[in-house]
Amino acid sequence: MRVRIFLLISALALFFDQITKLSAQRLLVPYQIKPVIGNLVRITLVYNPRGLFGLPIGSGLSYYILPLVGVAIVIYFATRTKSFLYLCSYALILGGAIGNLWDRIRLGKVIDFIDIGVKNIRWYTFNLADMFIVIGIIMLIATEIFHPRPATEKVEEKDTAKDNQTN
């Protein structure tokens, strides 16, 4: 059941990310600004050939290897968690990561189209995959802070750590 929920949330995140990107490509002209909520929220189709926030992160190959490593790490933690909230968080992160990785494999760049800001103070243009990743990370942090793990889970971790130290 947990695997199904994880896969469903990941698949839905990927689906909504890809459908909105395809819609943006079909309906928008690159770099043309379309206000949605005045100047606060705008739709602007851009293509990001670089990494997070358009920043360079090394050679061209690193734009494929780092996301694959990230996907593997998310799957590793998702398969080991007992927390439903953690599972949902990992699923959102995975769906978003695969969405952006799929763009990069298919196009060599990531499709971005959501542009927010006030006047000339703008955030980096982003997409739903980026939102899902950020929401997943915020959920992980909030769950860790506000939803402490059961004492039995903490005791198991301490016992495992002690066993590892004696070996």
List the catalytic residues. 112, 130
Q: Which helix (H) or strand (E) holds 36?
A: strand 33-37
Structure tokens at 138: 């915020």
Cβ–Cβ under 8 Å, residues 71 and 99: no
CB 117 within 8 A of CB 40: yes
The candidate with the shortest Cα–Cα distance to 149, out of 76, 88, 85, 73, is: 85
Q: Which of 23, 32, 52 is nearest to 110 (CA)?
A: 52
